[in-house]
Amino acid sequence: MKAVIINYHAGNIRSVMFALERIGVNAVLSDNTEEICSADKVVFPGVGEASSAMRYLKEKKLDEVIKNLKQPVFGICLGMQLLCKHSEEGDTDCLGIFDVNIKRFSPFEEDARRGGDIKVPQIGWNKIYDLRSPLFAGIKENEYVYFVHSYYAEKNKSSIASANYITEYCCALQKDNFYAAQFHPEKSAAAGEQMLKNFFAL
């Protein structure tokens, strides 16, 4: 099996590569169109800023490549957000695979109710629930996974998991061959490892 991690100069990509190595998957890190298109599985991870990431994808014509992929694709964190329609971060039009908008957490109302203990970004462990996808096989409801993000996906028809931080939001998506997670499977211990195994077993 050939696995490719899309290289678009976003942070945290190599930690995904190391996580895949731990489950026996040797992935190639590439921004080459032919290499990406010929992969059996494609991972689209990243940490960074939406507008600059989209600029790079467009410069390399990777935006059209990603939209036309037919094999299983897994977007992680920024990768998930870029698969959506629009992000408030930099007022950015994204790839539009998921008909979903990305919003910034607004802590003020909830902060007042809770006495000022809510911070943005969300950094740390939080539970996920309403799990409904083969991606979560062997993972129990209310499992804890690791998040780092200031922006979130609105609840939508493509949602396959939810989380709650300031507001209830969609933390994982699936449509056709595209899967995505807001949290970091590569940093989510046994549950994250199981999720990566599930993706590569699809």
| Band of residue 12 on the pLDDT scale cut at 50, 70, 90 | confident
Q: Is the predicted pLDDT of residue 95 greater than 70, yes or no? A: yes
Is there a domain that residue 18 lies in?
Answer: yes
Q: Is the predicted pLDDT of residue 85 greater than 70, yes or no? A: yes
| Band of residue 110 on the pLDDT scale cut at 50, 70, 90 | low
Cis? peptide before 121, omega within 30° of 0? yes
Q: Is the predicted pLDDT of residue 108 greater than 90, yes or no? A: no
In this prediction, residue 11 carries a pLDDT of: 80
Q: Is the predicted pLDDT of residue 185 greater than 60, yes or no? A: yes
Query: What is the count of structural domains for the chain?
Result: 1
Q: Is the predicted pLDDT of residue 115 greater than 60, yes or no? A: no
Is there a domain that residue 180 lies in?
Answer: yes
pTM: 0.94
**CB-CB contact of 109 with 145 (8 Å):** no
**CB-CB contact of 126 with 166 (8 Å):** no
Q: Is the predicted pLDDT of residue 107 greater than 70, yes or no? A: no
Is there a domain that residue 115 lies in?
Answer: yes
Q: Which residues pair with 124 in a beta bridge?
A: 147
Cα–Cα dist 187/145, whole Å: 8
Q: Average pLDDT for residues 129-136, to the nearest whole number?
A: 97
**CB-CB contact of 57 with 34 (8 Å):** no
* Nearest alpha-carbon partner for 87 in 12, 2, 149, 174: 149
| Band of residue 111 on the pLDDT scale cut at 50, 70, 90 | low
Cα–Cα dist 162/16, whole Å: 22
- The proportion of the chain whose per-residue pLDDT surpasses 90, expressed as a percent, equals 89
Other beta carbons within 10 Å of 140: 10
Is there a domain that residue 96 lies in?
Answer: no
Lookup: tokens for 186 = 């590569």
- Residue ranges making up the domain that contains 44: 3-91+101-201
- Local structure of 73: helix, strand or coil: strand
Weakest-pLDDT range from 5-14, 26-35, 147-156: 5-14
Lookup: tokens for 106 = 């607004």
Give the domain CATH number at 109: 3.40.50.880
In this prediction, residue 9 carries a pLDDT of: 83
Q: Is the predicted pLDDT of residue 104 greater than 90, yes or no? A: yes
Which residues carry out catalysis? 77, 184, 186
